[in-house]
Amino acid sequence: MEFLLICATWIENAGRFLTLEDEFVRASVLGAVLLGLNCGALGSFLVVRRMSLVGDTLSHAVLPGIVGGYLWNQTKDPVAMLIGAIIAGVIGTMLMNAITSTTKIKSDAAQGIILTVFFAIGVCLISLLPPGNKGGVDRFLFGQLAAVSAQDISWLSKATAITGLSCLLGYRGLLVLSFDPVFGRLCGLPMRFLHYGLMLLTTLAIVVAMESVGVVLVSAMLVIPASAASLLTQRLHWLILMAGAFGVTAGLLGTFLSFVGDQPTGPMVVIAASGIFALAFGFSPRTGLVTGWWSAYKWNRQVEMENDLKSIYRHWEDQHGEESSDAQAHAFSPNEFVPLKKLRSLQSQGLVEVSELGGDRWKFTTRGLAAAQRVVRHHRLWELYLSRRASYPADHVHDDAEKIEHLMDDDQARRLAEQLGNPTCDPHGRPIP
């Protein structure tokens, strides 16, 4: 009963969400979409440049700037806070570069230093604020997507527009920066300028997004959609578009789930993004985990099927020898090599059928015979090739041929046969079908 009530609430909430009748639902959906688009697209550059954690670093490092902007005139003036954050972000980026270039400290440690020390300074500055003034700053840390104001939306859309415009205008430069900055410098492209421009855009994206999802979760939006997209494509423009799309999807899905289940929005958006990532990780056509298992399974099935057909064929060949020109007419029974179970599975694939002779006799279908002959032909051609061209002794060629017979295609087999002068017998004296 209680469960039904909960379900009813969920459905009611879902209805309210989908009709977009509430003002704040519209605002938070718009906010999530813009945020996902902006962070997703920018994140693809970070992921490609192996700087994914720079987002995390910058999102913590801007804290003193935000508080400083707040201290500037003691009001929550978004422009002052934004300027402060950007100054802090730029100083952080420059210090990071300076540390890695003047000392033997590696970039990961340099990021860690900037992240924690800047964050600590920010926390100290917060505590200097007069009591009662800390609310606005607190929101930067945890975010409240449900309480996005019209002003936040306008900031988010401006930032997204700037990102989109810069990506369009500077696409070539950013492409070179992402994959081969040394080449870019040799070409005379302003690599340093592009790098700092990208960091500036990232800082901007972080600051305007922080209101909505909070410090930690904004770095998630920079990394997760872009990582998911990077599993699916290797071309930069597709990566950017897909990462943006994933970000938008995660934003929509996350706000929906959080509204329906009455959960905090920021973490829910991240969980939605992780869900998308998990799908990409599992089912990416080329590198997916499940896709890999599935193709391995299919391959094993295929090999097993071909081996079964081959052993039936060879058994049948032993029994009947050369006198049988019409192979299909000759039936065979289940035996220890090919038990009834396997015959049934081959039957379901339309490769063998029950013979009309009756009495548990089976025969190949036309398709089955062709498939069996094909495997045996590949096997014996390879054996012949190995013994003639690679001078393998005749008793060593079988195991190798067992593997290659499944991989060879018809064209290769034809060329092999041509090279060997269209032979009729393998090294063991068996006929090549």
Partner 1 sequence: MSAMILAEGLIPPFHLQRFLRDPWVNGAWENTMWILLLSVLIGLCCGLVGNFLLLRRMALTGDAISHSVLPGLVLGYVIFDSLDPWVMIGGAAVAGVGAVMLIELLHQKSRLKTDAATGVAFTTFFALGVLLIRRFANQVHLDVDCVLFGRLEFTVFDTMDTPFGPMPVSVVKLLWITLGCLLLLALFYKELLITSFDAGLAKALGLPSRVIHLGLMTVTSVIVVASLESVGAVLVVGMIIVPPATARLMAERLPRLLILTAVLVVIGSLLGTHLATWLNTPLAASIMAASGAVFFLVWMITWLKKFR
Q: How far is CA 151 from the centre of its chain?
A: 35
Q: Is the dihedral of CA 83, 149, 56, 238 positive or negative?
A: negative
Stretch that binds partner 1, among 99-107, 184-192, 344-352, 389-397 (CB under 8 A): 99-107
Which 131-150 residues touch partner 1, going by CB under 8 A?
A: 141-142
Q: Is 378 in the site for partner 1 (CB under 8 A)?
A: no
Q: Is 375 in the site for partner 1 (CB under 8 A)?
A: no
Q: 210: closest CA among 56, 346, 95, 105? A: 56
Task: Choose which of 137, 224, 243, 352 interacts with partner 1 (CB under 8 A).
Answer: 224
Q: Is 289 in the site for partner 1 (CB under 8 A)?
A: yes
Stretch that binds partner 1, among 18-26, 238-246, 266-274, 394-402 (CB under 8 A): 266-274
Q: 110: closest CA among 89, 91, 95? A: 95
d(CA 38, CA 196): 17
Q: Is 66 in the site for partner 1 (CB under 8 A)?
A: no
Q: Is 53 in the site for partner 1 (CB under 8 A)?
A: yes
d(CA 400, CA 379): 9
d(CA 243, CA 49): 15
d(CA 385, CA 239): 46
**From the CB of 261, what's the least distance to partner 1, in Å?**
10
Task: Choose which of 116, 154, 300, 319 interacts with partner 1 (CB under 8 A).
Answer: 116
**From the CB of 204, what's the least distance to partner 1, in Å?**
19
Q: Is 264 in the site for partner 1 (CB under 8 A)?
A: yes
Per-residue HEC secondary structure of 331-384 comes to: CECCCCCCCHHHHHHHHHCCCEEECCCCCCCEEECHHHHHHHHHHHHHHHHHHH
* Cβ count near 21 (within 10 Å): 10
Q: Is 52 in the site for partner 1 (CB under 8 A)?
A: yes
Q: Which residues form the interface with partner 1 (CB under 8 A)? A: 47, 50-53, 55-56, 60, 68, 71-72, 74, 99, 102-106, 108-113, 115-117, 119-121, 123-124, 127-130, 141-142, 216-217, 219-220, 222-224, 226-227, 230-231, 263-264, 266-268, 270-271, 274, 277, 281, 284, 287-289
